[in-house]
A = this chain, B = another copy of it.
Amino acid sequence: MMGTEGSAVSDQEQSTLAIVCGGGSLPFAVADAVLGRGRPVFLLPIKGWADSDAVRRYPHAWMTLGRFGMPRLMALNAGCRDIVCIGTLVRPPLRALRLDWLTVRMLPQFYRLFRGGDDHLLSGISKLVEQQGFRLLGAHEVVPDILVPEGVMTRIRPTAAHLADAARGFALLEATGAFDVGQAVVVAQNRVLAVEAAEGTDAMLERVAALSRAGHIRLPPGSGVLVKAAKPGQDRRMDLPAMGPRTVEGVRQAGLAGIVARAGDVIVAEPAACTQAADRADLFVTGIAAKPKPSA
């Protein structure tokens, strides 16, 4: 900590990375990618959310939401300065939290957090993490190639009609951003079939599949796009939307034609496996950059 600015940054890059793990496989994909780059990790899996079988493969300290005192000490002991928070996280009611002493001291701040939506909670957590002496990073800052790139990732390319559906989806996500809803919609032939909220992308895709099976919606062959983007104004270090091979499988089962993600906005776990799964199923996966805002 006494070195020049440059060496301090370099110290941090070699220091153990703390990863606060929510649900899903993404935290472990990130951990593996970080390890693959030669940086050690220390997991802080959240009880009730993180996959306990997967957690065992890494050094870790289980964390109960609301109990940051001990895990903080353990992470500091493990040499962590940087923290990444990743994985699905559904907001618990305040009474479900078991509070420790450090947390009790922060309680007034917590109360304020829990009154808002997810964005509010996450940006609040990030502030608390930084107050506790850590530097909060986004997963894409430690594993830069984890974000969906611009361009088509698959053999199949989207048609103009698919891109028009994607544009409608992006516009809808933009319009709902202020309401802290979801980060994904399904659009087919200009019609919005599903909007993600608390259920998450996988459940939304299952819904489209079920509606289709029951004949409540009819997807003409080759139509239907899953559209994913970050919420406008979102703290990009927290809760970027994610997709992986399971998303591709959900899209296939829903009978959609492919996935359009906002390039640089969406984390893709196991990109090679995604592309393979999509190619096998004749689906497209493509990243589209946001249009630059008109200046003046």
> Which residues of A pack against B, CB within 8 Å?
90-93, 95-96, 115-118, 168, 171-172, 175-176, 178-182, 185-186, 189-200, 203, 207-208, 211, 216-218, 220
Contacts and interface: CB of A to CB of B under 8 A. Distances in A.
Contact of A93 (B176, B198, B207, B218): B218
B197 A181 contact: no
* Shortest 5 CB-CB contacts between residues of A and residues of B: A195-B195, A193-B198, A172-B179, A117-B191, A181-B192
B190 A194 contact: no
Given A117-B191, A191-B117, A207-B207, A218 B92 contact: yes
Contacts of A196: 195
A186 B197 CA distance: 10
A180 B117 CA distance: 24
Contact of A190 (B93, B116, B175, B185): B116
A191 B90 contact: no
Contact of A211 (B116, B180, B198): B198
Contacts of A195: 176, 181-182, 195-197
A227 to B, nearest CB: 12
B175 A199 contact: no
Contacts of A193: 197-198
Contact of A218 (B96, B118, B180, B216): B96
A64 to B, nearest CB: 15
B92 A190 contact: no
Contacts of A218: 90-93, 96
A225 to B, nearest CB: 14
A216 B198 contact: yes
A116, A117, A186: most-surrounded residue (chain B CB, <10 A): A117
Contacts of A96: 218
A117 B185 CA distance: 15
A228 to B, nearest CB: 16
Contact of A192 (B115, B197, B217): B197
A207 B216 contact: no
A115 B161 CA distance: 11
A191 B93 contact: no
Given A193-B198, A199-B211, 18 more contacts: A90-B218, A91-B218, A93-B220, A95-B220, A115-B190, A117-B192, A118-B191, A168-B179, A172-B179, A175-B175, A175-B179, A176-B176, A185-B197, A192-B197, A194-B199, A195-B197, A200-B216, A203-B211
